[in-house]
């Protein structure tokens, strides 16, 4: 007989429940897949690569972007053909970076991609003329839900919120501050600060190795200054490097925004996903999708301890 402790936690902000399971083997398998070889195999027909991206991707109408696309150094942003919201965009970190393992992610690559999305979100809101809900998101690698291998971020701007945007928007503003102050005071899940953005391991994770960031004073990506975009890039890049050091290459991310000038605190979630392997097994079970309750095997306190040195000044 094997005994394994199971701890149930509830998120202080939304009431979301998670199960922390410490067993004798990891729920996510270590990497045993030649990711670089697979990158070369998929590169020959990739529409996001440099030799095809100009012809294979659409352009925005002039009221959104005069040039049809948005660039920020190496980042290249264009309309999302698979649009799930009224305004939807995709930005690759670079058309030249079809293979971008997480250990190669830099703050500059992430910040430039984010900056392109922030510019697009502002343009979409200006063209629409109404308060809109915006988010910046990542499905990195196929296990995360991405339909293409080439690494990219996506943004969504819509008159209606997603379920979780709606839930977070209903949280009283002072509860965000109380939650952050409590975690900083306890310290065991607090990772560090990049200046004005606070980073911590989630008390009740929605997925594996979940990290949260809280951005006081803003409620929408449209309100982010260039300095704060750079801060986000620094923090996200650091966490992705931690994920890589732990043996992961796939992740999901969501930066949840409400319409601008809300009392809500803009916040971000990042979680690891399964590595590519054969035969492939998804890390999402009925607990996550039908019960909306994560089942993970890494304690947030352990994750924070590993990530904290990346934020040391």
Backbone torsions φ then ψ of 90, nearest 5 degrees: -125, 140
What is the Cα–Cα distance from 224 to 217, expressed in whole angstroms? 10
What pTM was computed for the model?
0.91
Please report the domains of the chain, with CATH numbers, ordered by start residue.
6-311 (3.30.428.10)
The two three-digit tokens of residue 13, written as one number: 């902000």
Per-position pLDDT tens, the chain of length 313: 677 788 999 999 999 899 888 766 677 777 777 888 888 989 999 999 999 999 999 999 999 999 999 999 999 999 998 878 899 999 999 999 999 999 999 999 999 999 999 999 999 999 999 889 999 999 988 888 888 899 999 999 999 999 889 999 999 889 999 999 999 999 999 999 999 999 999 999 999 999 999 999 999 999 999 999 999 999 999 999 999 999 999 999 999 999 987 778 999 999 999 888 766 667 787 678 777 778 788 899 999 999 999 998 7
4 closest CA partner among 26, 23, 28: 23
Which secondary-structure segment (H or E) carries 294? strand 294-296
| Helix, coil or strand: residue 38 | helix
């Amino acid at each position: 007989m094997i005994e394994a402790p199971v701890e149930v936690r509830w998120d202080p902000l939304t009431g979301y429940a998670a199960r922390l399971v410490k067993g004798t083997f990891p729920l996510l398998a270590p990497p045993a897949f030649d990711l670089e070889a697979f990158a070369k195999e998929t590169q020959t027909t990739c529409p996001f690569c440099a030799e095809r991206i100009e012809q294979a991707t659409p352009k925005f109408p002039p009221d959104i972007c005069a040039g049809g696309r948005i660039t920020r150094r190496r980042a290249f942003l264009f309309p999302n053909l698979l649009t799930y919201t009224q305004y939807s965009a995709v930005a690759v970190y670079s058309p030249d970076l079809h293979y971008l393992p997480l250990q190669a992610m830099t703050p500059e690559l992430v910040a430039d991609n984010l900056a392109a999305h922030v510019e697009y979100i502002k343009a979409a809101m200006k063209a629409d003329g109404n308060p809109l809900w915006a988010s910046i998101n990542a499905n990195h690698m196929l296990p995360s839900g991405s339909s293409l291998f080439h690494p990219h971020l996506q943004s969504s701007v819509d008159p209606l919120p997603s379920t979780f945007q709606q839930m977070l928007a209903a949280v009283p503003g002072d509860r965000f501050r109380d939650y952050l102050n409590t975690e900083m005071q306890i310290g065991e899940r607090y990772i560090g600060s990049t200046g004005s953005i606070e980073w911590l391991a989630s008390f009740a994770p929605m997925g594996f190795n979940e990290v949260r960031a809280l951005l006081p004073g803003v409620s929408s990506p449209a309100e982010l200054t260039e300095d704060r975009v750079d801060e986000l890039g620094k923090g996200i890049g650091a966490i992705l490097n931690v994920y890589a050091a732990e043996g992961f290459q796939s992740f999901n991310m969501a930066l949840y925004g409400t319409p601008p000038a809300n009392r809500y605190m803009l916040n971000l979630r990042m979680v690891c996903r399964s590595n590519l392997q054969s035969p492939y097994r998804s890390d999402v079970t009925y607990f996550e999708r039908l019960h909306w309750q994560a089942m993970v095997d890494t304690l947030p306190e352990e994750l924070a301890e590993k990530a904290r040195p990346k934020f040391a000044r």
